[in-house]
Amino acid sequence: MATDRFDNTFSETSPTDVAAIDDFVHGFLAYQPKAANILAAADKTPSSALINAYAGMLWMFLEAPVAADKAAPYISRAQNAENANPRERSTINIASTWASGNVPETMRLCEAHSDQYPRDLVIIKLAQYLYFNTGDAPSMLRAGLKALPAASGEPFVHGMIAFGYEQCHQLEQAEASARHAIDIEPTDAWAHHAIAHVMLTQGRVLEGAAFMEEMAPRWDGLNSFMYSHNWWHLALFYISMGKHDEVRAAYDTHVWGLEKNFAQDQIGAASLLARMELAGIDVEDRWKDVAGHIALRGADTTLPFLTMQYLYALGRSNDPMADTLISAIKQKASAPSFEQEVWRNVALPACEGLLAYTRGDFEMAVRELGHALPRMAEIGGSHAQRDLFEQVHLDALMKTERLAQAQQVLEMRRTFDPDGVPLNRMLAEVYQKTGLPDLAEAALNREPH
């Protein structure tokens, strides 16, 4: 009997197996590529319960239609393994239930598991991920807090709690938790990420850019998602500051190109390109490569938040796969499941609006996105990520000359981006067209601070 770095017991005792488990546990929480070493370890040790359960879980994070099939043989091995202890059996049950597609039951099992094993940070992180995908911010926070006080000395706990607080709009608590994590472990990229969210939400644009630039050297060697996603956040600050060259450089060097077949890398690139265009930045032919890789996914409706951005990229590139995907989305919305309500009443109208926007039907974009926006949190994703859909809707308001509506949206957006260059240029246009030149001039004179 051995223990992982968080004092959770497991059955494996050979040095090789112990190292593989540590690689996964630490790599998963720290966003390091070594987490993937668990796959080779599982193939070498088919009799290991925990190693195979972790390998199955890792495949599920692929976020693709083939994920469950990839996970299946590993989960089967784990289920057939002998001498698994109760925590390992619970982990296997969680992995197998997740792979079966029963996400609500998976979340319930994670809750029960973390009540009994509050230092099992892998399962707490999984719970947060599942709640994130269903837009349940309070449960994200509750899941993270379960690690206290048992694991209060672990930086990853405070990074998870920080993101839970931020998604609940508890920004002061979020920043305090994230900074506590960084005090314990300065390289905790998830804590850096939480602070980026806080500063973006509070309009601390220059401070946010400076903070993320200071942290950036610490992201070297991370997996493609965490590396590219933190650079994505830095690029958002650059967009607000009107730094077009820096945004393009961030995209070309740090956001797109690491793992072009991975879902999160694809949506990060697509959403940044969309934001760049909405801010008036020329992206030249950059859509072609992103959309080409997304098209290879086929009709992927694994998660609504991801699918919406796949569709936007395909529509923006005039790829015929966009029509195949919107048909699949309609089928998904009509198929009974625990997530049917979200697909039918949120994702489907949003997707129809996004596709209409890419094809120049701005009236339909205003109508369909308008239906979906009040419930957009239900599709998953973070506030910062879902803001793309608000921006598309706003641009459609401008293109249909709904200036009064646009003015209201823009001034509300100034509460969290008061001096953003693209926002104030748009606001100046609205005020100029509505006969308020003094307000237009004031908008043009604002600078990020």
Please state, in angstroms and rounded to a whole number, the distance separating the CA atoms of residues 297 and 64. Answer: 8
Please state, in angstroms and rounded to a whole number, the distance separating the CA atoms of residues 29 and 265. Answer: 18
Say if CB 186 and CB 217 are below 8 A apart: no
Please state, in angstroms and rounded to a whole number, the distance separating the CA atoms of residues 265 and 255. Answer: 7
pLDDT value, residue 449: 56
Sign of CA dihedral 37, 43, 47, 53: positive
- pLDDT tens-digit readout, 253-307: 999 999 999 999 999 999 999 999 999 999 999 999 999 999 999 999 999 999 9
pLDDT value, residue 35: 98
pLDDT value, residue 248: 98
Task: Please tell me whether the peptide bond between 149 and the residue prior to it is cis, using omega within 30 degrees of 0.
Answer: yes
Query: Taking Cα atoms as reference points, which of 308, 302, 314, 443 lies closest to residue 388?
Result: 308
List Cβ<8 Å contacts ≥24 apart for 32-40: 32/221, 32/222, 32/223, 33/221, 33/222, 33/223, 35/223
pLDDT value, residue 12: 83
- pLDDT by residue for the chain (449 residues), tens only, comes to 799 999 999 998 899 999 999 999 999 999 999 999 999 999 999 999 999 999 999 999 999 999 999 999 999 999 999 989 999 999 999 999 999 999 999 999 999 999 999 999 999 999 999 999 999 999 999 999 999 999 999 999 999 999 999 999 999 999 999 999 999 999 999 999 999 999 999 999 999 999 999 999 999 999 999 999 999 999 999 999 999 999 999 999 999 999 999 999 999 999 999 999 999 999 999 999 999 999 999 999 999 999 999 999 999 999 999 999 999 999 999 999 999 999 999 999 999 999 999 999 999 999 999 999 999 999 999 999 999 999 999 999 999 999 999 999 999 999 999 999 999 999 999 999 999 999 999 999 997 75
Helix ranges (H only) for 187-319 are 189-201, 205-215, 224-241, 244-250, 263-278, 286-295, 304-316
Residue keyed to tokens 């930086």: 155
Please state, in angstroms and rounded to a whole number, the distance separating the CA atoms of residues 326 and 308. Answer: 9
**For the chain, first and last CA: distance in Å?**
55
Please state, in angstroms and rounded to a whole number, the distance separating the CA atoms of residues 80 and 56. Answer: 14
1-136 belongs to CATH 3.30.870: no
Q: Where in the chain is the domain with CATH 1.25.40?
A: 1-136
Say if CB 6 and CB 21 are below 8 A apart: no
Local structure of residue 448 (DSSP, 8 states): -
Q: Which helix (H) or strand (E) holds 3?
A: strand 2-3
Q: Which two tokens stand for residue 151?
A: 């694991």
- 3-class SS at 372? helix
Say if CB 23 and CB 34 are below 8 A apart: yes
Verdict on whether the full-model pTM lies above 0.95: yes
Please state, in angstroms and rounded to a whole number, the distance separating the CA atoms of residues 91 and 114. Answer: 10
- 3-class SS at 316? helix
Please state, in angstroms and rounded to a whole number, the distance separating the CA atoms of residues 208 and 341. Answer: 37
The amino acid sitting at 351 is C
Please state, in angstroms and rounded to a whole number, the distance separating the CA atoms of residues 252 and 258. Answer: 10
Please state, in angstroms and rounded to a whole number, the distance separating the CA atoms of residues 254 and 233. Answer: 11
Instruction: Tell me the longest C-alpha to C-alpha distance in the chain.
Output: 77
The C-alpha angle 106, 160, 50, rounded to 5 degrees, equals: 45
Tally of helices (H runs) and strands (E runs) in the chain: 25, 2
Q: Which two tokens stand for residue 224?
A: 């493609």
Q: What is the chain's alpha carbon radius of gyration, rounded to the nearest angstrom?
A: 22
- pLDDT tens-digit readout, 169-228: 999 999 999 999 999 999 999 999 999 999 999 999 999 999 999 999 999 999 999 999
